[in-house]
Amino acid sequence: QGCAQKYIVKNYFYYYLFKFSAALGEEIFYITFLPFTYWNIDHSVSRRMIIIWSIVMYIGQVSKDILKWPRPLSPPVVKLEMRTDAEYGMPSTHAMAATAISFSFLIATMKQYQYPFELGLVAAFVFSTLVCLSRLYTGMHTVLDVIGGALISAALLMLLYPAWDMIDHLLLTSPFCPLLSIVVPLVLCYNYPKLDYYSPTRGDTTTILGAGAGATVGFWLNNQYAAPAYTSENFQLGFPLITSKIVVVVLARFFVGILVVLLTRQLMKSVVLGVLGYRYQFPIGDLEARRRLEVEVPYKFVTYSSVGFSATVIVPLLHKLLGLM
């Protein structure tokens, strides 16, 4: 386990298609698409997607470590990824994330923007299907893992949708929101199911809940002290009337925002890890020490809550200063 397998690529189209599709369910996608939606499309759409994504991913990650279903045996399958091989298989959190993000985006936008519903439905279906198929192609999941993940995500969407607006309103207006947004995820992370060996699921879950917590605090602060979330001023570009000027503004917002987000992540990683290394007396490069509960949870949570906060508060302020609003 953990050793790279030798394989020969016979169809480069499928290979690169599914390698790219697999990346749509990983951090590189979350850290670009979700902030892009907040900066350039609609604050309310982004808020709903981030909340749904956090809930769905937490349930999916915990389910893996409770069910403890193994990943596909290798051989006969060839595994094209090694980082997540130590995790259990059921359900596929890639399938859960892809289903949750694509269909929550569809549901959140279909009443606010004029576009063919059929087109949105096909786009959501194609996106989630590509990610699901990528998990089979890369040898990381069985068909049952993928179907189970997609169905669990769909069920959670149906359960949460009736309370969608109420949850959003409470998170924006409740005076307890900042405290609960930090305390509840931290409690969940520190009480994550224990395994007999190290798995990246706890760290990944802490990353997701941390980013969601930081973003939620940012949403609350923006609603309290900046533009109220329910006014038309808070809506971004939307889909209609794409012009060259709008494209330039969108790209400028995106690249400025991503630069700030990446710098925040790198800075906070160094600072938090340095503080924890001093506190628990371990060298920064000690991977085993960084996997300990008392190190991994605060390291991941503080780093990514800072990223979420930066994306929702610092970046919009910078956009305003640069005349990109």
Burial of 226 (0-12, 13-18, 19+ CB in 10 A): middle
b/e sequence 250-285, b meaning 16+ C-beta within 10 Å: beebbebbbebbeebbeebbeebbeebbeeeebeee
94 among known catalytic residues: yes
Q: Which of 43, 94, 169, 319 is catalytic?
A: 94
CA dihedral 32, 38, 40, 45 (to 10 degrees): 110
Q: Which residue has the tokens 């808070």?
A: 234
Q: Which residue has the tokens 């995500």?
A: 153
**Residue 163 one-letter amino acid:** A
Integer Rg of the chain from CA: 20
Q: Which residue has the tokens 């991913």?
A: 57
Helix (H, G, I), strand (E, B) or coil at 262: helix
Distance, in Å, from the CA atom of 17 to the CA atom of 3, rounded to the nearest integer, reads 24
169 among known catalytic residues: no
The whole-angstrom distance between residue 217's C-alpha and the CA centroid of its chain comes to: 16
Q: Which residue has the tokens 């359900």?
A: 91
**Residues with Cβ within 8 Å of residue 269, at least 6 apart in sequence:** 299, 303
Q: Give catalytic residue positions.
A: 94, 141
